[in-house]
Amino acid sequence: MRPESRTPDEPTTPGARTTPDGRTTPYDRPTPYGWTTPDGRTTPDPRQPDDGGPAPAPDAGRPVRVSVIIPAYNARTTLRACLLSLIHQEAARRPPVPEPPAPEPAGRAPRPSYGPDRAYGAEPARAHPYTHAPYTYEVIVVDDGSSDGTAGMLAGFPDRLDLRYVHLPRSPLSGRARARNAGLAMATGELVVTLDADQVVEPGFLGEHVRAHATDPALLVVGRRLQLDEGEIDQEALARGFDLSALPPVVRGDEREGVFRVLACELADMATGWHHAWTCNASVRRDRLIAAGGFDEGFAGWGLEDAELAYRLVRDGAGMRYSTRAAVYHEHRQPVTAAMYREWRENLAYFLRKHPDPAVRLQEMFAPAIDPDRSVHGSWEETAARFEHAARALGGGPRPLSVT
């Protein structure tokens, strides 16, 4: 596999422009185009075929083409685990026969697990029978100037993926937005799925994204993120097949589900749903992504480039859906640093300059929960709920642009 390379100042997405300070940003133009119950159960969105039934057949039986885009910067070890899990995606899944859970060893507490129908303590998602439309997929790794041997690892990776690789030289313009745009420029699939390099996915992961879009092609689908404990992933076992025993235990579910529970609503019903579209696990049709202008490369450093993209997509008519079945296992997350918080503040200011919407300004409410130097009273879920209530009171949210 020979890497493709780009110069630092080369635009990475169609319709891009260069600002006077040298940043590449997309045009911002108009286009024509389960919540969790109090007892902890996560129920499927009634508009989503999460009841185990078959998804609608694709047009004329043609498989959907999926492009998985993964930006990576000095993430060689975690990226390899991510790619190993992608080897085992089931492109034409048949309903499995559920097996009884293995008994826990004597004296050992039951291991927490997360499934599609419960926020905590349920069997893994793969034990639930379902089918989805057939698909093929490619995996695009965008190396954002790594110096940890990522290129060598990819060169020796098992030839079991349709794997493409591009290296971007490190520069002041480097960042996740620019890296994802480089992957978008290489993508050939109708559906784009975005992942981060520090995540592992189950065999039905891509099929769930495909299945969600089969009922509505105008969706932005956001998947569940489960947090793993500290510890090593058994990559030898993961290379042979997916098994939860190869991963550290899950220690926390997706905090967004707590917000749905507090608000008693679904992501699709939220005025601030765009804020919760984390591109560590999301999917959207490639034509819609390009029409929206891709990621705005004016966002540098950590935070909010995904929320701003979702803001534009929703404004341009995309619906949102949260999928509990399309879950990722996120390797142990490091706490937010002072440098990351400064970058978040700068990106919030840029977001507000671009979209002077009171609902965008309300994101300031999250600052105490993010700032590592401040003592916070109350949970992130409570802050997100207050953010939603405030946006509703303003009648806020992305407003559709008129098409001229």
Domain range summary for the chain, segments of one domain joined by +: 4-55+63-92+113-394
What is the residue whose two structure tokens read 């065999």?
203
Taking Cα atoms as reference points, which of 136, 150, 157, 149 lies closest to residue 1?
Answer: 157
What is the C-alpha separation between 87 and 105, in angstroms, rounded?
A: 31
Query: Are 130 and 52 within 8 A, CB to CB?
Result: yes
Out of 3.30.230.10, 3.90.550.10, 3.30.2090.10, 3.10.129.10, select the CATH number for domain 4-55+63-92+113-394: 3.90.550.10
Give the E-state strand segments of 247-383 in sequence order: 250-252, 281-285, 319-330
Taking Cα atoms as reference points, which of 88, 110, 85 lies closest to residue 234?
Answer: 85
Q: Picking from 188-202, 337-351, 384-398, which range would have the lowest pLDDT averaged per residue?
A: 384-398
Pairwise pLDDT comparison (135 vs 93), residue with the higher score: 135
**256 pLDDT above the threshold of 50:** yes
**Judging by DSSP bridges, how do beta strands 24-26 and 199-201 pair with one another?**
unpaired
Report the pLDDT value the prediction gives residue 374, as an integer from 0 to 100.
74
Q: Picking from 25-34, 86-95, 159-168, which range would have the lowest pLDDT averaged per residue?
A: 25-34
> Tokens standing for 21?
């300070």
pTM for this predicted structure: 0.77
Report the pLDDT value the prediction gives residue 103, as an integer from 0 to 100.
37
Most confident of 37-46, 182-191, 330-339, 369-378: 182-191
